[in-house]
Each structure stands twice: as C-alpha cells, then as structure tokens.
Amino acid sequence: MAELDEPIPAATLVLMRERGSGPPEVLVMERTGGMAFAAGALVFPGGRIDAADQEAAAAFALPDAAARIAAIRETIEETGLAPGLAPAPDPALAAALRAGIVAERPFATLLAEHGLELDLDALTPFARWCPNFRETRRFDTLFFLAEAPADAPEPVVAEAEAVRAFWAGAAAVLAEVDAGRAHVIFPTRRNLERLARFASIAEARADAARHPVTKITPWIGEVNGARHVCIPEGIGYPVTSEPLETARRR
C-alpha cells in the first residue's frame, strides 16, 4: 500500500460570542462548491500555517505560536473579523488589515504599521485533528477557541472561498445539518457536538483545560456489528463514532 503524503500543518479558530442568556454562538462559513477540500461544507475559519507564521512565532515561548498566528491571520482574511490583536482594531482597521493580507503583504509588517500586537493568550487550545484517510488534501489542524469582540461587525466572506458566514449556536448548526439544509465533515460535526454542551464561553474554555489537546486520527472500526468512523473516548467528545455510510470525511 502506498504511503500517505505528509499532512499539511494548519490552524482553525472557533470564534465565539455571548448572546444574552442563551448559549454562545459560533462563527461558521459555507465553503464554495468548487474547493478541493470540504467543498460546500460548513467550516470554522482557518487554513495553512505558512513560513511567515513560523518566523513570527520565534518571538513567543508558546510551542503552538505559529498555529495561533495562522488562525488569527486566516480569520481576518476569510471573515474580516480580527480577534487576537491588541489593541482590538475597529472595523475600518480590520478592513485595512484584511486588504493587506489579500494583497499578500506580510502580516507582521501590517501589524507593525498599524501599531498592533498579537495577543496569542486570547486563543485557547481546543483540539487537534489529523485524519489519515486518502483524500485530495490531508491536514494536521490545531483548533483554538477565542471570543469575538463585543462590538465586532458582522462577518464578510472572501468570495473565492465561501458563499456565506454567519453566527449560530452549535446546536442550531447541527439542526440545519440534520435537516439536510447544510453539511459538515466528520471533524466539524464532532467539534459542534462538543461545543453544543456549553452554556458559556467560560465553560468551553474550562472543558478545553480539562482535556489536554491530543492528536485525533479517526479510524474505521466495528460498533454493534456495523462499520463506524471512530475517535478515542475520554478526550472531551460526547459522540465518538458515526456509521461509515453517513460520515463525511472531505
């Protein structure tokens, strides 16, 4: 059997906001139908960790600094929202940062020009997924939680990558999927199920602290006589398997 290609290092940001007395909402995007990975699926903002992220990470003691920087940069580019920066930029400044990123200007240069610094402590490590199925592209992705600024504008998607972005409770997103009005890939569904249990962002962060990030590589196993896609027990996920025929892996 041929060896799998090395996974692409990536980072994803689960951006959350409190909404009155209800559960927190999460920011999700619907990817365009022509994408090589997760086409048409609801996803959290994120993307590859690039060389410039690695270089900028040298200024921080955090071992996952490059992933945190990538998660912030990708969220700005894909949604126009700018978490993880100090001071928090206003909408006009966030738009200027996004325009610079789209123009492929170095993120570090943009921050320096606008008097901004990275606040990597604003991101909480949440999960790490590295599927080993033979897909078009395979990613080793670190997931982080962050809280959206109270006065953050509505997201505006990058049209080349997504057709819409919206805020909704994790349970509401799952209801849309179950009703057939949207779809998600296997890791996103498991993360939404985990997030749907939390009544606040503080609860989500506390749960993340109780479950140290472990690399999750799903496998196909037998559950009650049927083939399932499985993940380990005891790492924070309330659902740890799904029938193979319903599990979307790309």
124 close to 130: Cβ distance less than 8 angstroms: no
pLDDT, average across residues 164-193: 94
Q: Per-residue pLDDT tens for 88-119?
A: 999 999 999 999 999 999 999 999 999 999 99
pLDDT, average across residues 29-56: 82
DSSP 149: P
pTM surpassing 0.75?
yes
Residue 81 has pLDDT above 90, yes or no: yes
What is the pLDDT, as a whole number, of residue 88?
A: 93
CA distance 38 to 55: 29
**207: closest CA among 133, 143, 160, 111?**
143
Residue 48 has pLDDT above 60, yes or no: yes
- What pairs with residue 146 in β-bridges? 15
Q: What residues contact residue 2 under an 8 Å CB cut-off, 6+ apart?
A: none
User: Rg for the chain (alpha carbons), in Å?
Assistant: 18
- Give the 3-state secondary structure percentages of the chain, helix then strand then coil, rounded to 5: 30, 25, 45
Q: pLDDT category, 1, cuts 50, 70, 90?
A: very low
Q: pLDDT category, 137, cuts 50, 70, 90?
A: confident
Q: pLDDT category, 17, cuts 50, 70, 90?
A: very high
CA distance 122 to 225: 44
Residue-averaged pLDDT of the chain: 91
- What pairs with residue 220 in β-bridges? 229
pLDDT, average across residues 141-163: 84
Domain 8-243: CATH architecture, name and number where available: Alpha-Beta Complex (3.90)
What is the pLDDT, as a whole number, of residue 40?
A: 76
Q: Per-residue pLDDT tens for 32-45?
A: 755 445 557 899 99
> Between 162 and 178, whose confidence is greater?
178
Number of alpha carbons in the 13 Å side-chain half-sphere of residue 115 = 5
The one-letter amino acid at 201: I
CA distance 155 to 9: 25
Sequence ranges of the domains in the chain: 8-243
Q: What residues contact residue 156 under an 8 Å CB cut-off, 6+ apart?
A: 79, 80, 165
Residue 19 has pLDDT above 90, yes or no: no
CA distance 231 to 187: 10
Contacts 24+ apart (CB under 8 A), 233-239: 235/211, 236/127, 236/194, 236/207, 236/208, 236/210, 236/211, 237/190, 237/193, 237/194, 238/193, 238/194, 238/197, 239/190, 239/193
CA distance 182 to 7: 27
What is the pLDDT, as a whole number, of residue 204?
A: 98
Q: pLDDT category, 150, cuts 50, 70, 90?
A: low
Q: Per-residue pLDDT tens for 198-249?
A: 999 999 999 999 999 999 999 999 999 999 999 999 999 999 999 998 887 5
